[in-house]
């Protein structure tokens, strides 16, 4: 009746309600019903749809009951909307029974009681205590249960049904009056109501039932005699009473919750003032937006970095990447040819292959690396300031790492870079003395660094660290001794080569490998000292010994060629001067006179080689710097924005990157404030509503 439609199935003396039916009532333009798990609507104004709805509820009830059981705790959820319906949620439960009939499960009675208890024990539930008015009050099975669940009657409404049968059977009118006055049953309630739910015909429409109820109370002798009060009769008044009770309980609950949240908010605000007295409250989203602005500011600051700084960093990384290839694969290999022509040919071939295949890609990779390193450096420098807030550090570093993996260099830069690098490496003409001296300085610097590295590596192999000695690595100590003796024998090989060169005028010392005779000699000399090592051990040691010798000789060349630019520029080789052979490095241990260059066979083509490299590095650094300034910085800005947008939508990631007591406290304060504000708005709306 409260739903203004007969939606529940009825049986002739048979238990029909076998599981809880949850009905959510709300006002709507059309009187319809839908199941929670279905989109099908039942038109409650049509008898055919009502019959189908009742049948569906009955089928769902029976389907929810397991084999051997009579009732089920599985909830059937139903939504009913219609004009004038009071907003509330009703739960129809199986009726309390006193006897288990044949065919019922043995625990049906207790199961129904447990099910009723589970719903009635909810402090926010309104209990409708339904009592059949046509039977004796002493036969009531539900009032004792209700009085236990709600002893003070703060959320109970008593409903006396079938009062038409009670009047027809001439029941004691005083007892009915006592029931409606709350003086007969040992229970308390907010209100007592008398209703009529029809004539007992299962097929009667809701309009007929409502009309019958109104006519009964209008003509009832009990009503005329004052047994029934007007406010205590009809399903309509009952519905209003339930709604009023519901909203009253809601208001009390909301006010109580609002007070609780006020106290919580006060405690949290006090904790914030004591823990972070000089910091403004910022939740995770606010801190993320703050970090977003700071990160984008640093992207813009990339354009403020001086061109010189860009090019110095790029040049340093370029040489660091290519140095091993230049020394081991190009310089030393080309020197083995023993002639200027062979040297230049080998250099040209290897540099051309390198430029066509690997060099441009390596340079673009270095540009990408330097760009992101500078970006990270700007962020890290900002973090070192005393006024900096470190709470967003993890987020910023995560953005930098994401940029490293996402940023793609403009593909058009590869071909243009290859062209300018090829042109730079093909140019052998050192234009002026200043360029000549800068090439010598560049060559000398890189040779010294490489020499320091090689000597350090060789020394580390000959003398292991002291901590290893302390913990007793005897095997490493023996290897050190072997390495030391091997170096001494290899030094003898170099000396013998130099002596042979002086005798037969052939550059034996240039060879970077040991021939079989030399290898045999070294091995026999070591065996004579009771040192037995493999050929690989000797060759590995030789590579370092030879490279150190090679680097020292070329450092001498740097000294000797400082004043050679005049002869290089005039082209003395074309005038009959033999300036193409740099083979006798041992002759250059002392400074020679300029007038003796031709007699000594000095050509300084190494200087030209390193000038070509230096020129290529400078042009490449300049081109990459322009690419960064004109294109890549803007592309990086777009990528950073995309990354931040992705992070913004990932709440789990944000929680992992922005964390700590300060954020947790700010988040809790934000949540409590929002809930309290909503509760206060709700309370205000309840107070203004009639």
Amino acid 643: pLDDT:
95
* CA angle centred on 43, ends 41 and 46, rounded to 5°: 150
Tokens of 341: 């022509």
Tokens of 17: 């309600």
Lowest mean pLDDT among 147-151, 167-171, 211-215: 167-171
Amino acid 372: pLDDT:
94
Residue 135 has pLDDT above 80, yes or no: no
pLDDT digits (tens, 9 = 90+) for 564-582: 887 777 664 443 333 333 3
Residues 6+ apart with CB under 8 A from 254: 679, 682, 683, 686
Closest of 302, 286, 284, 291 to residue 399, by C-alpha: 291
Mean pLDDT, residues 593-615 taken together: 68
Amino acid 601: pLDDT:
47
pLDDT digits (tens, 9 = 90+) for 327-344: 889 998 888 887 888 889
Amino acid 320: pLDDT:
92
Q: What is the mean pLDDT of the chain?
A: 83
User: CA-to-CA distance for 452 and 446, rounded, in angstroms?
Assistant: 10
- Beta-carbon neighbour count of residue 439 at 10 Å? 25
Residue 37 has pLDDT above 90, yes or no: no
User: CA-to-CA distance for 85 and 300, rounded, in angstroms?
Assistant: 61
Residues 6+ apart with CB under 8 A from 159: 128, 129, 130, 131, 193, 194, 195, 238
Amino acid 626: pLDDT:
94
Lowest mean pLDDT among 37-51, 261-275, 301-315: 37-51
Amino acid 474: pLDDT:
47
Mean pLDDT, residues 369-376 taken together: 94
pLDDT band of 501, cuts 50, 70, 90: low
pLDDT band of 3, cuts 50, 70, 90: low
Residue 231 has pLDDT above 70, yes or no: yes
Q: Left (φ > 0), alpha (ψ -120 to 50) or beta: where does 576 sit?
A: left
Residues 6+ apart with CB under 8 A from 425: 351, 352, 355, 612, 613, 616
Q: Is the dihedral of CA 273, 279, 282, 283 positive or negative?
A: negative
* Greater model confidence, 308 or 212: 308
pLDDT digits (tens, 9 = 90+) for 172-206: 677 788 888 888 888 888 888 888 887 766 666 77
Mean pLDDT, residues 430-457 taken together: 90
Amino acid 58: pLDDT:
87
Residue 16 has pLDDT above 80, yes or no: no
Sheet holding 191-194, edge to edge: 127-132, 156-161, 191-194
Residue 602 has pLDDT above 60, yes or no: no
Residues 6+ apart with CB under 8 A from 389: none
User: CA-to-CA distance for 141 and 138, rounded, in angstroms?
Assistant: 9
Amino acid 92: pLDDT:
86
What percent of the chain shows pLDDT beyond 70?
88
pLDDT digits (tens, 9 = 90+) for 624-671: 999 999 999 999 999 999 999 999 999 999 999 999 999 999 999 999
pLDDT band of 11, cuts 50, 70, 90: low
Lowest mean pLDDT among 61-70, 267-276, 313-322, 612-621: 61-70
Residue 464 has pLDDT above 60, yes or no: no
Residue 457 has pLDDT above 50, yes or no: yes
pLDDT digits (tens, 9 = 90+) for 414-439: 899 999 999 999 988 888 889 999 99
User: What distances in angstroms separate CA 531 from CA 513, 523, 541, one per listed residue?
Assistant: 22, 8, 15
All domains of the chain, ordered by start, with CATH?
Answer: 1-120 (3.40.50.300), 123-233 (3.40.50.300), 299-646 (no CATH)
Task: Identify whether the C-beta of residue 410 lies closer than 8 Å to the C-beta of residue 638.
Answer: no
Amino acid 597: pLDDT:
42
Residue 363 has pLDDT above 90, yes or no: yes
CA 250 to mean position of chain CA atoms: 40
User: CA-to-CA distance for 310 and 374, rounded, in angstroms?
Assistant: 9
Amino acid 316: pLDDT:
94
């Amino acid at each position: 009746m409260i739903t203004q439609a007969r939606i529940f199935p009825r049986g002739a003396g048979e238990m029909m309600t076998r599981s809880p039916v949850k009905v959510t009532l709300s006002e709507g333009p059309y009187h319809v019903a839908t199941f929670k798990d279905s989109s099908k609507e039942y038109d409650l104004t049509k008898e055919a749809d009502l019959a189908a709805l009742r049948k569906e509820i009955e089928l769902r009830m029976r389907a929810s009951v397991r084999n051997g059981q009579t009732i089920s705790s599985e909830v059937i959820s139903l939504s009913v909307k219609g004009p004038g319906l009071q907003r509330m949620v009703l739960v129809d439960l199986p009726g309390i029974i006193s006897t288990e009939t044949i065919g019922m499960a043995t625990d049906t009675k207790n199961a129904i009681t447990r099910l009723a208890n589970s719903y009635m024990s909810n402090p926010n539930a309104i209990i409708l205590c339904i009592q059949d008015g046509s039977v004796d009050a002493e036969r009531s099975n539900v009032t004792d249960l209700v009085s236990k669940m709600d002893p003070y009657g703060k959320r109970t409404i008593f409903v006396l049904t079938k009062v038409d049968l009670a009047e027809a059977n001439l029941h004691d009118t005083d007892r009915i009056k006592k029931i409606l006055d709350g003086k007969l049953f040992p229970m308390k309630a907010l209100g007592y109501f008398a209703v009529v739910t029809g004539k007992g015909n299962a097929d009667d429409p809701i309009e007929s039932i409502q009309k019958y109820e109104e006519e009964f109370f209008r003509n009832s002798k009990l009503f005329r005699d004052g047994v029934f009060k007007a406010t205590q009769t009809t399903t309509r008044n009952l519905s209003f009473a339930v709604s009023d009770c519901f909203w009253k309980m809601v208001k009390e609950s909301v006010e109580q919750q609002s007070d609780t949240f006020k106290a919580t908010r006060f405690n949290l605000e006090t904790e914030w003032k004591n823990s972070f007295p000089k910091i403004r409250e910022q939740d995770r989203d606010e801190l993320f937006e703050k970090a977003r602005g700071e990160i984008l500011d640093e992207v813009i600051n990339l354009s403020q970095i001086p061109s010189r700084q860009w090019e110095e960093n790029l040049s340093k990384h370029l040489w660091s990447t290519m140095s091993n290839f230049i020394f081991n694969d190009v310089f030393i290999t080309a020197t083995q040819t023993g002639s200027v022509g062979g040297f230049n040919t080998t250099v040209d071939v290897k540099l051309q292959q390198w430029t066509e295949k690997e060099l441009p890609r390596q340079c673009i990779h270095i540009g990408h690396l330097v760009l992101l390193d500078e970006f990270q450096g700007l962020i890290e420098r900002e973090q070192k300031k005393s006024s900096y807030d470190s709470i967003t550090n993890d987020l910023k570093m995560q953005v930098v790492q994401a940029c490293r993996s996402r940023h793609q260099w403009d593909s058009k830069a590869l071909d243009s870079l290859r062209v300018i690098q090829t042109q730079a490496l093909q140019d052998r003409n050192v234009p002026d003395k200043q360029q000549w001296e800068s090439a010598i300085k560049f060559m000398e610097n890189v040779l010294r660094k490489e020499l320091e590295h090689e000597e350090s590596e060789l020394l580390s192999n000959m003398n292991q660290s002291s901590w290893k000695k302390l913990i007793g690595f005897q095997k490493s100590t023996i290897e050190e001794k072997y390495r030391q003796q091997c170096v001494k024998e290899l030094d003898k090989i170099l000396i013998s080569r130099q002596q042979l060169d002086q005798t037969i005028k052939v550059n034996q010392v240039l060879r970077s490998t040991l021939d079989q005779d030399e290898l045999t000699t070294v091995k026999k000399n070591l065996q004579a000292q009771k040192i037995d090592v493999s050929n690989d051990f000797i060759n590995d040691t030789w590579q370092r010994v030879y490279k150190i010798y090679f680097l020292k000789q070329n450092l001498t060349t740097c000294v000797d060629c400082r004043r050679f630019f005049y002869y290089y520029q005039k082209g003395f080789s074309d005038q009959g001067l033999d300036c193409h052979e740099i083979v006798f490095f041992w002759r250059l241990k002392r400074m020679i006179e300029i007038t003796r260059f031709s007699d000594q066979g000095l050509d300084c083509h190494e200087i030209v080689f390193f000038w070509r490299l230096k020129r290529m590095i400078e042009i490449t650094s300049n081109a990459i710097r322009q690419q960064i300034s004109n294109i890549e910085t803007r592309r990086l800005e777009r990528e950073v924005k995309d990354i931040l947008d992705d992070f913004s939508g990932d709440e789990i990631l944000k929680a992992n990157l922005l964390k700590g007591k300060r954020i947790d406290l700010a988040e809790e304060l934000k949540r409590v404030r929002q809930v309290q504000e909503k509760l206060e708005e709700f309370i205000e709306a309840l107070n203004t509503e009639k």
